[in-house]
Structure 1
Amino acid sequence: MTAAGYLKRLSKRLTADLEELDAERISEQSQATGAQRACDCGQGEEVSMLGELRSVQTCSKAAKTGVVAEFFDGTDVVVLKWIGRNRIPGIEPGRKLTVRGRLGVKDGVKVVYNPYYELIGDD
């Protein structure tokens, strides 16, 4: 029985899409900490989520649009926007963090403006 379970997990890892495996890994880590799942959060709610940054855009001083990051918790994408900042140390693609703030929706995309965040070290 144990060998069959091992072979099943191994074949899943060998045949599954890498993005799907990554999403599953992030989602499991998030649930283990008790964080909320982004797919379950709605507009106007105070949220606390754990996930990874997929991409980060910084602005020039002239543009003054702030830092924009794509946050993924394994279930959904949330855009994080820090207004008035042109760079934030530690906010970079691939970084794991916990985010807290009020969730909004702009143009059908979930967004948190000026979120509180805590960088999570590599395990």
Structure 2
Amino acid sequence: MSSAASGYFRRLGRRLTADIDHLDAEELAESAEASGACRASECRRGEEVSMLGRLRSVEACSKAVGAAIEAELFDGTDAITLVWIGRKRIPGIEPGRKILVRGRVGERDGRKVIFNPYYELRGNS
């Protein structure tokens, strides 16, 4: 059997037996790297970054002072919180959506956050 064929069967066997969440994380990390985006696990506070990932959760927070939308973006390596201040809803920003974001990494409660990021909606796959 050729090495190309054995490599194909090895990958196929791995895909059939691996955890689906693990495979999804690997695919996200690979597509983010291919696009030239920064990995969430490697970004640091104060850096201007571009990240490609999938929204895990989206929550509208309507506080007395002002509204905000918070979303968790996962790129296959780590998660980062996105916060759009002064917004109650953004069309297309929903769980499961793949997006590209750009902004400066900050920190809130010990977690990475980007406030009011620029974003581009991508396909859901």
TM-score after normalising by structure 1: 0.91
In structure 2, what is the equivalent of residue 41 of structure 1? Answer: 43
Instruction: Assess if the C-alpha contact under 8 Å between 1:64 and 1:86 holds in 2.
Output: no
Q: Percent same amino acid among aligned pairs?
A: 61
Q: Which among 88, 94, 97 is matched to residue 95 of structure 1? A: 97
Q: Which among 112, 117, 120 is matched to residue 118 of structure 1? A: 120
Report whether the alignment pairs 1:5 with 2:7. Answer: yes
In structure 1, what is the equivalent of residue 79 of structure 2? Answer: 77
CA distance change for structure 1 residues 104 and 60 in 2, over 3 Å: closer, same or farther?
closer
SS in 2 for 1:59: strand
Q: Show structure 1 runs of 5+ residues with no match.
A: none
CA positional deviation for 1:10: 1.4
Distance in 1 between residues matched to 2:26 and 2:35, nearest whole Å: 15
**Cα deviation code 1:12-54 (max 9, x no counterpart):** 1122111110010011111111111111110111111111111
Q: Show structure 2 runs of 5+ residues with no match.
A: none
Give the letter aligned to residue 8 of structure 2: Y
More strand by share: 2
SS in 1 for 2:26: helix
TM-score after normalising by structure 2: 0.90
In structure 1, what is the equivalent of residue 57 of structure 2? Answer: 55
Distance in 2 between residues matched to 1:16 and 1:63, nearest whole Å: 46
SS in 2 for 1:44: coil
Q: How many pairs does the alignment contain?
A: 123
SS in 1 for 2:76: coil
